[in-house]
Structure 1
Amino acid sequence: MGTELFDLEGKVAVVTGGGRGIGVMIARGLLEAGAAKVYLASRKTAELEAAAEQLRPLGAVETVTADLSSSTGVEVLASHLAGQEEALHLLFNNAGATWGAPLEEFPESAWDKVYSVNVKGVFLLTRALLPLLRAASTPEDPARVINTGSIDGLRPPVRGMNNFSYTASKSAVHMLTRHLAAEFAPDVLVNAIAPGLFESKMTSGLLAGGAESIGAHLPLGRIGRPEDIAGLSVFLSARASAYITGAVIPVDGGVSTLH
C-alpha cells in the first residue's frame, strides 16, 4: 500500500469539456499522476488547442472537436477513439451548458440545449464507449466513468439564480450516475463529482465581485482551487477507489452542508 494506489501509469483517459475550466483541471491532474494519454474533447477547436498546448509538457495530449449534444457528435468522438485505442480506462463526462433567465422569460430552448449536453450527451457517450471501457477493466482495477454534476443538483441555489434547467439537469446527472453504476457493475465503476464554486467561464458572473471576497463567505473560507478538482479526479481514477461506485461526491468547501 502507498503511492501506487494513486498511480495512473498506463491509463488512457477522455475528458469532455476539456478546453477550459474544470476540464483542464481534471486533465492536468491525470497527467501529473502519470496517465499515459489524455484526449480532450469539445466543440471549440481553438480552446482545445490552447488547452493542449498548455498541458503537453506534462504528457501525451490529443484533441477531438465534437459537439456532444447530439448523436452525430458522439459518433465523431467514439469513432475517433475506436480508431486510435483498443481500450479506454477513464471517461470524464465533463461537458456542460447552462442558461439563465427570469422565470417568466425562461425559454423552452434553454431546456433542450442544457439537457442535450448535460444529460443526453452523458448517456449517449458513455454507451458508445462502453466496449472500450470494458476492454480496459480488470477485477482489481475496473475502468471508470466520472460525471461532473454540481452542488446545484444537491441543494437549491440561492433565490434569484434563475438557472432552472441547469439545476434540474445536474440532479438528473446524479441519478443517471447511480443508475449506470448499478447497470455496469462490476465491470465499470461510475461516480460523479459535484463541484461548488471554481473559477471558470461559467462562474465568471458569480465571481465578478472578486473570488477572495466571495470565497470568504463559504464554510472553508475560499473558492475551489484547481488542485481540489485534480485530487478528487485522480482518486476516483486510481486503484484507491476500486471499491466505490454510484457515489456523488461534493467538492464545494462545505457549501452543500448549508441550509
Structure 2
Amino acid sequence: MASGEHYEPYEQLAPALLRSELRGKVALVTGGGYGIGRSIAQSFAEAGVARIILIGRTETKLKDTANDLSASFQEIDVVTMVADITSKEDVQHIFESCTKYAPDILINNAGYLSTPAEFLDADFDDYWNSFMVNVYGTMLFTQSFLRHRKAYVEAAENSGNTPSPAVVVTVNSMGAFLSMPKFSSYCSNKLALARWTELLSIEIPEEFARFVSVHPGAVDSSMGNKSGMIDQIKSGAAQLSLTNPKLTGDFIVWLTSRDAEFLNGRFVSVNTDIELLLSNKKEIIEKGMYSIRLSQ
C-alpha cells in the first residue's frame, strides 16, 4: 500500500464519529438499491441521519436494501422511490413528494457504462446512453434538487431559520483522467462531470451548497465487472488493489462533514487518507490541488 492510501475502512473514517453533526439530516442516494449505493446508504445510517431516500430503477433491490437498513437502524426513516434519473417526470415526482422537507445531502451515484468497444465499432445508442445517464441524468437531478432546496431555504428564512448548506457528492471515476482504449464514452463524460462540479462551486454560493467529485475506488461491482477491470485486478494483470465498498461509503459520508468543506469543487479519491488531506488543507487551497488544470 502506498503512503497515505487506504483500501479498507479505518478508525478515523468511522461514520459514527459524525452522529452529532449529521443528526436530523436527510440524505438522498441515487442508484441506492445495490452495490456502491447500498454501501453509501449503510454508512449514512451508521452516521445517524434522520432519513435516507433511496432512488433506483429496480423496486425489488431498493426494497431489499431498505428492509435491511430498517431492521438494523429502526430509528431511521428509509424511503424508496422508483425512478429513471433521465426522466423529467420521474425526477419532478420525487421532489414533489418531499412536501414538508428538503433533502440536505445528494449523492449522485446512479451511473451507466456502455459496452467497452472501439469507437468505430461501438453501438452508438449504447455509447450515447452513457452520456444520457451520467451527464444529463446527473445534471437534471442535481438542478431539481437545488431548486427544491432553494424554495425550502427561502421559506425557512422567512420563518427566522437558516438551514445549513446542502452538500452534493457526485460519484465519478479516475477514468476521467486516464487514457483507456474502448472507454472513450465513459471517460469523457466522467471528465465532463468533474469540470461541471468545479463550475458549480464557482457559480453557487458555498453558504447555499457545496460540491465534490469522488473516485469510489476499484470496487467489485456490476459496473466494475462489466469494464473487465475487476478480473484484471484479481488476476494480477492490473497493478491496482480492490477497494472495500464499506470504505467508499464511509469516505463519502465524511465528505458531507464540516471538516471536508475545503474540498468544495474538487476531485478526490476515497483511497486518500483523510488525515493527509486535513494536514495539507492550506496547501490544497492555495495551490488549487485536486482541481482540473491544463499543464504547459
Q: Pick one of 134, 139, 162 that aligns with 1:118.
A: 134
Aligned equivalent of 2:198: 178
Cα deviation, 1:86-118, whole Å, max 9, x if unaligned, reads 222100111101112432321221233111110
Aligned equivalent of 2:169: 146
Shift of 1:4: 5.2
Bigger-Rg structure (1/2)? 2
Alpha-carbon distance in structure 2 between the residues aligned to 1:88 and 1:5? 17
Aligned equivalent of 1:77: 94
> If the length of structure 1 is used for normalisation, what is the TM-score?
0.84
Q: Which moved more, 1:115-124 or 1:70-79?
A: 70-79
Shift of 1:204: 2.2
**1:12 correspondence with 2:26:** yes
Cα deviation, 1:25-80, whole Å, max 9, x if unaligned, reads 11111110111111000111111111112222223211000001222222122222
Which runs of 5 or more residues in structure 2 are unaligned? 1-15, 274-296
Shift of 1:189: 0.4
Alpha-carbon distance in structure 2 between the residues aligned to 1:139 and 1:155? 42
Alpha-carbon distance in structure 1 between the residues aligned to 2:90 and 2:145? 13
Shift of 1:164: 2.2
Matches within 5 A, 1:144-223: 144-157=167-180, 159=181, 162-186=182-206, 187-205=208-226, 206=228, 209=231, 212-214=234-236, 217-218=239-240, 222-223=241-242
Alpha-carbon distance in structure 1 between the residues aligned to 2:252 and 2:19? 13
Q: Pick one of 70, 78, 81 that aligns with 1:64.
A: 81
CA RMSD of aligned residues (A): 2.8
Shift of 1:132: 3.8
CA change 1:209–1:97 in 2 (3 A) is closer
**1:109 correspondence with 2:109:** no
**1:92 correspondence with 2:104:** no
Describe the SS at the equivalent of 1:243: helix
Q: Which moved more, 1:245-254 or 1:14-23?
A: 245-254
Aligned equivalent of 2:290: none
Q: Which moved more, 1:120-129 or 1:72-81?
A: 72-81
Contact 1:39-1:64 within 8 A present in 2 as well? yes
Shift of 1:217: 2.9
Describe the SS at the equivalent of 1:100: coil
Describe the SS at the equivalent of 1:156: coil
Q: Which moved more, 1:185-194 or 1:127-136?
A: 127-136
Alpha-carbon distance in structure 2 between the residues aligned to 1:54 and 1:214? 34
Shift of 1:13: 0.8
Alpha-carbon distance in structure 1 between the residues aligned to 2:45 and 2:191? 29
Contact 1:191-1:248 within 8 A present in 2 as well? yes
Identity percentage over the alignment? Answer: 27
Describe the SS at the equivalent of 2:106: strand
Which runs of 5 or more residues in structure 1 are unaligned? 255-259
Letter in 2 for 1:97: Y
Letter in 1 for 2:121: E
Letter in 1 for 2:91: V
Contact 1:148-1:195 within 8 A present in 2 as well? yes
Shift of 1:238: 1.5
> If the length of structure 2 is used for normalisation, what is the TM-score?
0.74
Aligned equivalent of 1:257: none
Q: Pick one of 265, 271, 274 that aligns with 1:246.
A: 265
Contact 2:232-2:238 within 8 A present in 1 as well? no
Alpha-carbon distance in structure 1 between the residues aligned to 2:124 and 2:235? 35
Alpha-carbon distance in structure 1 between the residues aligned to 2:250 and 2:18? 15
